[in-house]
Each structure stands twice: as structure tokens, then as C-alpha cells.
Amino acid sequence: MPPHPSPTATPQPGPHADHSGGVEAGSRGAKKRFLHDAREYVRDTDHRAFLRRALAGYYTTRDGQKARYRDWEQARDAANLAKWNAVNRLDEMLVRFADAFEAGGGKVHWARDAAEAREIILGIVRAAGAKAIIKSKCMTTEEIHLNAALEAEGYGVVESDLGEFIQQLRGEPPFHFVFPCMHVRRGEISKLFEEHLGSAPTESPEELTMIARRYMRRLYVEADVGITGANFLVAETGQISITENEGNARLTAALPRVHVALAGIEKCVERLDDLAVLLPMLATAGTGQPLTCYNTLYGGPRVSGECDGPQEMHIVLLDNGRTAILADPEQRDSLQCIRCGACLNVCPIFKNVGGFTYGTTYQGPIGSVITPHLRGLGDWNHLSQASSLCGACTDACPVRIDIHHHLLHNRRNAVRAAPNRLERMGHRMFAAVAARPRLFATGGTLFRRSLWFLKKLRLPLLRDWIASRDLPQAPARSFRDQWRHRAPPAVARSRPATTGSDR
């Protein structure tokens, strides 16, 4: 048995339960679960208010930081260009990165899908004779359900990021891909620590942090393998860039004998200089910081003369559907995402349904764009309907991804892939009526007069929609009627000609 079994989770009840469903499960019935959980979450007004309060300070701090840029829009252009350049030449960038990384003594592994990535990482862990594993926050490991695969083989895995650690103890996936436990109150964290770590009750954030820190310290030293993600892969230098606020990723990468980093292939940038714009943009847009506290570059294992660092360093480059997005010229730019989380923070749907409702690794607007590519349009196309198309996400995106139009593209693709006969018939009927002015006018009059009756009838199609909304009162006269009987336009009275002497 490993000396540090994964902390035992406390199962959470209700709609906030884990929907990952374990390894590669959870797609079937995703829409039904989404609708059920959204309904439950929307009813939980306390939780929604808590979430709103948690995000309330975000706008002020972010806007304060944005104001420090000479030209925020120009910085967005530069960030967009840096990512677009790399995404459009990804084949070349990845080979350059892999060659440079291996020249530094690291080993590159290519994984076509989640199963391959899990197998590669399990192989590295087995070869290292590992007993204990420490991890820093990495959404790509969530995407491939790595913890479940490691635990199934008897390895203990401990999350070292405080938010992820809390979620691990709660038995939940991250609620938000930047703020994993933003939905948890301090009192709940205190109780969780009392139960699992035997600490005294406290609601002080500093004390809670110190409790987790004391628990974690020994684990860093005793872990054989450290697993991290990577925010950027620099093709020019063969380095990976990790940005974080707690310093836990540094310890995870530096103290264990073996360091494994897992990254999606889209994380590539061409030049080290690109980070000069991307790192501050990531911090400002995501958390309202000028720069994240710790920004580190790793270029390979420890070399002779260095006093710390792993003896082996591996990077696993994951495709898992990303090349399909790359092949789609319409949605290719969604690979530019730097996972700052800004689109979630401003999304009215996210604020009302919460992160778990999506049932995906990547929540919110960008999750709704890419999940159908990563896990199948057939089962996940409902996510593109989870948007008011207000465009707040597109406005907030530091790398200028046209998020809300991509949601529209997904809606169109879903209709093309599985046309709804009823909907198509409805559109045809409307087109036939709209092309005949008299019929259109008669239909309008009939509809106006029968609106009160439709409300009473509560047709299945309208029932959900009007359950929480009032239908507007029908006007006494239609617009066409009012237009026909409008007062004649006032004739402008001609002014007498003026001359200079009139002054």
C-alpha cells in the first residue's frame, strides 16, 4: 500500500455531485442531467447569491488592472496574434518544442487520446517504482480522469493546490477551472479540515491555509512523482511555463524524483517573448492580478551542479480531439484559449447554474464551445443552448476568441447533424405564412386574440418557458393596423429665405 493514500472524499449530496462518472463515462444522458441540475441550482437562491458575492470583487480588480495598460485593446491584439501564429503553425511549433525539450534532457510523449495519456503516465509511475504522488492543479489531468486511473492501480494521489485539495476532500471535481472551490464557504472548509485533518475549527483564511500547508509539507518530500500541467510550451527554447499563486507547483516539480507534465498540444507559443504579453493578460483577465505570484520556466531535469530539480522530466502532449478543432477553420481559434476563466466570470448562465451543472471538465462558455469537439457533438450539443448570446464572454476574452459565435456554429452543426423534423416543419410553415402578407396579418390578429387562451392552455412547448415568466399583454391594435391609421406626417413649414442683413 502507498504510504499516502489519496485523502478520503466526503460525498456531496444534491445537484452539486460529481458528474465525471469516472474514466470516460458521463456522456450519455448529459442533456437530461444538465436540465435537471440547472433547475435545481437555479432554485438554490442562497447559493446563487453566494456565487454572485464571490464574483462581485472580480470586476473591480480586473478593471483596475486593465486601466494600468496603456491600451488594453492593443494588448488583446498582441495576445491574439501570439496564439494565432502558434495555432496556425502547430505542426511546426510542436516539433520545434519537442526537439528543444529533448535536447535539454527531458522526454516527450505523444498521446492521441485520454486512454493513451493515462497509459503513458501510469507507465512512467510504474517505472519509477512510485508509492506516493503529488499533483498540482492541472485541468488536463481532470480531462483524462487521471486520479481515478492512478487510484485504481493503488497509488495515492494528493492535490497540492489548496482549492483542488478541498475539492478532493469533498469528492467533487473543480467547480470553476480557475477557482476550483469558489462555491464553498469558509465554515464548510473548516468542518472538512476538522473531519479529515483533525484541526481546530476556524474561519480565518490564513489559519485554514496553514492547516493545509502543514499537512502538505511532508508529502512533497516523500512523493516519488510530481505531476503538473503547463500553461505554455515555448517552441523556441523547449521550456514549459507554469503560472500559479501558491508555490505548490514549484514544490511539486522540484522535490520528487520524477516530474511529469501533461499539456494539451494547443499550449504552444513560438517565442519566449510571447510570454511577456500572455502572462500578464492571463493574470489580469482571470483574477485581476498584474501578474500571477509565481511564474516558472522548466527546461528539463536537474543537471550536474544544480541543487534541486527532478532526476527525470517527462512531458505528455495530448491531442484528444484538438486536431479536429484545428481542422475546422471556423472554430480553430478556440485553441487559442489560455484558460484564464474570464468568460466564466462574466457569463450570466454560469452565475445562475454554477459550474457542476455543465458536467464537463471545462465549464462556462469556452467549455460549451470545445466540449462537443472533445466528447462528441451528439451528446453535448445542448451546451451551446446554455447561452443568452449576450457576447459578454467574447468581450472579456483576452485572446479575442469569438466565443458566442462559436456557440451559434455549434447550434447550426447540431441541427445539421440531427435535424429536428418538427422544428423544420415549423420553420417551413412560418416561411409560407410570412411570404403571404394577408395570411400573415390574419395570423397575427388570431394570435393576438388568442394569447390569453394560450397562457391558460399551458402547452407543453410553452410550459417551461412561461413557468418563470409572464407573457406580455397583447396590444389592442397590431403594428400594421397602427401604421395604416397613422396620422399624416406633418409637412415642414417652409422658412422664409434669409439674407445676411436679417441678422
**Residues at the interface with ligand SF4 (CB under 6 A):** 285, 337-343, 366, 396-399, 401, 403
CB atoms within 10 A of CB 440: 15
Residue whose CB is less far from ligand SF4, 69 or 440: 69
CB of 397 to ligand SF4, least distance (A): 3
Residue whose CB is less far from ligand SF4, 80 or 190: 80
Residue whose CB is less far from ligand SF4, 270 or 312: 270
Residue whose CB is less far from ligand SF4, 192 or 397: 397
CB of 334 to ligand SF4, least distance (A): 7
CB of 363 to ligand SF4, least distance (A): 10
CB of 380 to ligand SF4, least distance (A): 17
Kindly give the interhelix angle for 45-66 and 30-43, rounded to the nearest 10 degrees.
90
Instruction: With H, G, I as helix, E, B as strand and everything else as coil, classify residue 253.
Output: helix
Look up cell 511555463; give the residue: 241
CB of 302 to ligand SF4, least distance (A): 33
CB atoms within 10 A of CB 455: 13
Residue whose CB is less far from ligand SF4, 263 or 401: 401
CB of 348 to ligand SF4, least distance (A): 15
Residue whose CB is less far from ligand SF4, 238 or 288: 288
CB atoms within 10 A of CB 451: 13
**DSSP secondary-structure letter at 356?**
G
Residue 295: strand pairing partners = 243
Instruction: With H, G, I as helix, E, B as strand and everything else as coil, classify residue 75.
Output: helix
CB of 303 to ligand SF4, least distance (A): 34
Whole-number Å distance between alpha carbons of 40 and 17: 12
Closest-CA residue to 216 (of 183, 179, 246, 186): 246
Residue whose CB is less far from ligand SF4, 181 or 338: 338
Residue whose CB is less far from ligand SF4, 162 or 342: 342
DSSP-assigned states of every residue in 93-161 = HHHHHHHHHHHTT-EEEEESSHHHHHHHHHHHHHHTT-SEEEE---HHHHHTTHHHHHHHTT-EEEE-S
CB of 85 to ligand SF4, least distance (A): 16
H/E element, 355: none
CB of 80 to ligand SF4, least distance (A): 10
CB atoms within 10 A of CB 40: 16
Whole-number Å distance between alpha carbons of 145 and 147: 6
Instruction: Identify the burial level of 11 via C-beta atoms within 10 angstroms of its C-beta, where 0-12 means exposed, 13-18 middle and 19 or more buried.
Output: exposed
Mark out the alpha helices in 376-467 (DSSP H runs): 377-380, 392-396, 403-417, 421-434, 437-457, 460-467
CB of 91 to ligand SF4, least distance (A): 22
Residue whose CB is less far from ligand SF4, 408 or 418: 408
Instruction: With H, G, I as helix, E, B as strand and everything else as coil, classify residue 181.
Output: coil
CB of 177 to ligand SF4, least distance (A): 8
Whole-number Å distance between alpha carbons of 125 and 130: 6
Residue whose CB is less far from ligand SF4, 190 or 331: 331
DSSP-assigned states of every residue in 266-332 = GGEES-GGGHHHHHHHHHHHHHS-SS-SEEEEE-SS--TT-SSS-SEEEEEEE-TTHHHHHT-TTTG
Residue whose CB is less far from ligand SF4, 146 or 396: 396
CB of 10 to ligand SF4, least distance (A): 29
Cα–Cα–Cα angle for 400, 229, 106, rounded to 5 degrees: 115
Using the CB atoms, write b or e for 138-158: b if 16+ within 10 Å.
bbbbbbbbbbbbbeeeebbbb
Residue whose CB is less far from ligand SF4, 219 or 399: 399
CB of 35 to ligand SF4, least distance (A): 24
**Contacts for 306-310: CB closer than 8 Å, 24+ residues apart:** 308/254, 308/255, 309/253, 309/254, 309/259, 310/226, 310/253, 310/254, 310/256, 310/257, 310/258, 310/259
